Amino acid sequence: MQLRTSYLPDEDQGILLCQVTLPAGSTLEQTEAVLARVRDQFLNKEKDAVESIMTIAGQNQAGRGQNIGMAYVRLKDWKLRPRREQKVTAVANRTMKAFSQLRNAMVFVFPPPAVTELGNAKGIDFQLQDRGGLGHEGLMEARRQVLDMAAKDPRLARVRPNGLDDVPQYRITVDMEKAGALGVPITAIHNTISTAFGSSYVNNFLKSGRVKHVDLQADAPYRMLPGDLEKLYVRNTKGKMVPYSTFASGRWTYGSPKLERFNAFPSINIWGEAAPGRSSGEAMQAMEDFASKLPKQIGYDWTGISYQEREARAQTAPLYAFSILIIFLCVAALYESWTIPFVNLLMLPLGVFGATAATWLFGMPNNVYFQIGFLTTLGLSTKNAILIIQFAQHRMEHGEKLVEATLGAVRTRFRPVIMTSMAFFFGVLPLAISRGAGSGAQNAIGTAVVGGMLSATFIDLIFIPLFFVLVTQIFKGKRPNQTTEHRLDSTASPAR
């Protein structure tokens, strides 16, 4: 209950992503100037860790526009970055601190998620939804409130909207009654405007043995200003040209440059990371706390790696319960008894104590790999108990008393238990101390198994005989006196 929750540990994959956003209306030249500073920061000031960088102006993971850009940073090989300050997290923190001084742009540096198919950035992937029809302005106000609360919460860091800010837009209003009276269909109006200010494909033609496109578009001087719309003419159903100004008008407005929806609801995507020393589970809980303070019409959902974490968290308790049930049934089938398996179940908390304690001492969260190590420890605890109990029962079947048989089994099986446990311990130890690519997952599962192996070996050796004696006495199972083989041996002993 005290362990911080997470889904996957952070990994140093040798890659960094950098997302650049300038104020709405910024030109492509201004964006390229900011990207030049980003390149200089990585290639010159972080040259000990960075191998190369590629920048793209005009688009990033939030969308397309002249005011946004993206940078892909490749770090040097892991063996060339042995120091802690050369790791991906340290490089990201230093560059974020440097880019925070920029006044004309927001630059966020972040590693990709541990599994690249589960999103575009590590941390949390939050969808803020308008489920009650508040409209775009209400959704943007809710976003502002969430970002304000996130900036003050110690559980979160680098919380930012993954989208495009509202921009000035020129809204065209068509008077449908006038257009109908003039015989101008709405499709003709749309096609004329999109062709003049955008472009439209006409056909192909051959020139010098090559096939070339014919695209129609208004000349540049005639598609630069909103007033150029009034120079357009639209052909009506009678083939006559009707001036645009007779049936339509325009005005400036402010709105989102793209339609953003999630599960059919208007939505805004928000990214963020857990603060140092915190886990993604705590960060997700913080975002849920913020959402509970918003108007009732505003909902939320999770996507990407955050969705997978929420689903995995819901399956944890049934998974443990099913594993314990399988252990109980397997041991019951082995001993052909319903009472002896309780000894194995009593050993499970002592075994998993080491896995939990080791993970907690090293500051690791409860993630998927910890759960795998947790289940492995359950099996190891059961294995040690089986080795001792089986010999104790065998000695009891040959006439020894309960306590005498149990102590004799412990002495007999002490060395095999230690040997098998230590072999497994040293086999898993490299995972717990590994470094480099994939070390996050290896450390998580290795630490849990190593800690669980130690407790399942040294603590269990003390309590296995104790619990076996107590359970046997409590249930007062009928103790076999002598097997047929033992009676035959006893009868034949005087003759021998």
Task: Answer whether residue 479 shows pLDDT above 60.
Answer: no
Task: Answer whether residue 272 shows pLDDT above 70.
Answer: yes
Of residues 124, 137, 142, the one with CA closest to residue 298:
142
Task: Answer whether residue 152 shows pLDDT above 70.
Answer: yes
Task: Answer whether residue 426 shows pLDDT above 50.
Answer: yes
The mean pLDDT of the chain is 86
3-state secondary structure of 294: coil
**Alpha-helix residue ranges (DSSP H) falling in 56-207:** 88-99, 136-152, 176-181, 186-197
Residue 250 CA to residue 263 CA, distance in Å, equals: 33
Least confident window among 50-59, 280-289, 469-478: 469-478
Q: What is the pLDDT of residue 494?
A: 43
CB 377 within 8 A of CB 354: yes
Mean pLDDT of all residues in 207-220: 90
Mean pLDDT of all residues in 429-438: 85
* The CATH homologous superfamily of the domain defined by 7-115: Multidrug efflux transporter AcrB pore domain (3.30.70.1430)
Query: Of the spans 25-39, 246-260, 417-431, which averages the highest pLDDT?
Result: 25-39
CATH class of 167-255: alpha beta
* The CATH homologous superfamily of the domain defined by 315-491: Multidrug efflux transporter AcrB transmembrane domain (1.20.1640.10)
Mean pLDDT of all residues in 66-85: 90
Least confident window among 63-72, 248-257, 346-355, 468-477: 468-477
In the structure, what pLDDT confidence band is assigned to residue 35 with cuts at 50, 70 and 90?
very high
Model confidence pLDDT, tens digit, residues 287-306: 999 999 999 999 999 998 88
Question: How would you classify residue 476: left for phi > 0, otherwise alpha for psi between -120 and 50, otherwise beta?
Answer: left
All structural domains of the chain with their residue ranges: 7-115, 167-255, 315-491
User: Is the pLDDT higher at 439 or at 486?
Assistant: 439
Query: Of the spans 34-38, 274-278, 337-341, 410-414, which averages the highest pLDDT?
Result: 34-38
Q: What is the pLDDT of residue 488?
A: 36
Q: What is the pLDDT of residue 476?
A: 65
pTM score over 0.85: no
